[in-house]
């Protein structure tokens, strides 16, 4: 099922918004080149992961030489500092074993969301017709799809 969680301009580059979607708390992040969503629950001890601090990576090819990369793409849990990649949900310290659930985020136009002929929750259009009124929508919205 898809959920509209925000207008595109509600989350500025480098910003985030925590939303309730399908009974789950999810953090939606704008990394500047796209939107990404993570479950707001650290796999370590269940802390509110998406409330944590974001920063980049410090990498080096040899001792004494380092470079800063991926600014704002690493999320640290506020409880114990466990770090996760916002783009993938993978643990920064043990990416092969540990991750947090990530969700795809789509940007859809208001016109797509206001489609009166779109099926709702698997229901089929019946033979009866109710009086309806035209609906228009402007702008773009962030949509997350969450499985049941």
Q: Identify the sign of the CA torsion 135, 8, 49, 1.
A: positive
End-to-end CA distance of the chain: 8
Which CATH superfamily hosts domain 2-122+129-145? Answer: Rieske [2Fe-2S] iron-sulphur domain (2.102.10.10)
**C-alpha angle with apex 75: 72 to 80, nearest 5 degrees?**
145
pLDDT of residue 112: 59
pLDDT of residue 148: 61
pLDDT of residue 65: 87
Q: State the CB neighbour count (10 A cutoff) for residue 105.
A: 20
- Full pLDDT tens readout for the chain, 148 residues: 788 899 999 999 999 999 998 899 999 999 999 999 999 999 988 999 999 999 887 788 888 888 887 778 999 999 998 999 999 999 988 878 889 999 999 888 776 565 555 555 656 666 666 666 665 666 788 788 887 6
pLDDT of residue 2: 81
Any idea where the domains of the chain sit in the sequence? 2-122+129-145
pLDDT of residue 34: 94
């Amino acid at each position: 099922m898809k959920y509209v969680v925000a207008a595109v301009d509600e989350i500025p580059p480098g910003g985030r918004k925590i939303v309730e979607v399908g009974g789950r708390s999810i953090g939606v992040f704008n990394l500047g080149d796209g939107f990404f969503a993570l479950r707001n629950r650290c796999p370590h001890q269940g802390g509110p992961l998406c409330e944590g601090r974001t920063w980049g990576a410090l990498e080096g090819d040899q001792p004494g030489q380092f470079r800063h990369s991926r600014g704002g793409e690493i999320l640290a849990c506020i409880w114990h500092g466990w770090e996760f990649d916002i783009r993938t949900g993978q643990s920064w310290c043990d990416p092969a074993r540990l991750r947090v659930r990530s969700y795809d985020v789509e940007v859809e136009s208001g016109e797509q969301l206001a489609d009166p002929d779109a099926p709702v929750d698997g229901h089929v259009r019946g033979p009866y017709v109710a009086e309806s009124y035209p609906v228009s929508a402007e702008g773009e919205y962030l949509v997350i799809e969450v499985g049941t």
